[in-house]
């Protein structure tokens, strides 16, 4: 997993396929309505909402896509753990490219202007809060592995 300021995204060009397309889209993301936007091999989703309670949330992971999650407004708490340190709760769904896990990880606050990139071995609990709900607007990019 990588977590950093969005202003540093260009530093990861060798690790993130289609980064030029993603950065071009991001320049207009504030104007885009909530929805899904395709790009070669993947998709970009603009999402808005309220965070969910961390307690009771499960870790998720993906095998066919990297997740680049970019907080545009608001903030969220995100918990991370390597899937080899977790217990599977829902087997991998090939159609939805998702698998669910339980266990303990490291908790991080992710404010606006921050991104995190999760790889197939990275279990993550996005869009969470620990004390009170927060609102967020984010861009989630599904990048083919």
| CATH for 82 | 2.60.120.370
Per-chain mean pLDDT for the chain? 96
Nearest of 103, 105, 58 to residue 81 by alpha carbon: 105
pLDDT in the model for residue 97: 97
> Residue 81 belongs to what domain range?
2-144
Q: From the centroid of its chain, how far is CA 119? A: 10
In angstroms, rounded to a whole number, what is the distance separating the alpha carbons of residues 96 and 116? 21
What's the whole-number mean pLDDT along residues 39-58? 95
Whole-structure pTM value: 0.93
pLDDT in the model for residue 41: 85
Beta strands of 83-134 (E only): which ranges?
87-93, 98-102, 106-111, 114-118, 122-129
Q: Tens digit of pLDDT for each residue in 67-97? A: 999 999 999 999 999 999 999 999 999 999 9
Number of domains in the chain: 1
């Amino acid at each position: 997993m990588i977590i950093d300021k969005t202003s540093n995204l260009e530093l990861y060009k060798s690790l993130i396929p289609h980064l030029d397309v993603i950065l071009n889209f991001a320049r207009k993301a504030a104007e885009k309505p909530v929805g899904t936007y395709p790009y070669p091999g993947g998709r970009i989703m603009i999402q808005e909402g309220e965070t969910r309670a961390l307690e009771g949330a499960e870790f998720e992971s993906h095998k066919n896509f990297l997740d680049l999650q970019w907080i545009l407004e608001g903030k969220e708490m995100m918990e991370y753990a390597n899937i080899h340190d977790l217990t599977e709760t829902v087997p991998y769904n090939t159609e939805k490219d998702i698998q669910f896990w339980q266990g303990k990880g490291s908790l991080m606050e992710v404010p606006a202007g921050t991104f995190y990139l999760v790889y197939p071995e990275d279990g993550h609990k996005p869009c969470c809060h620990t004390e009170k709900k927060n609102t967020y607007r984010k861009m989630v990019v599904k990048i083919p592995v």
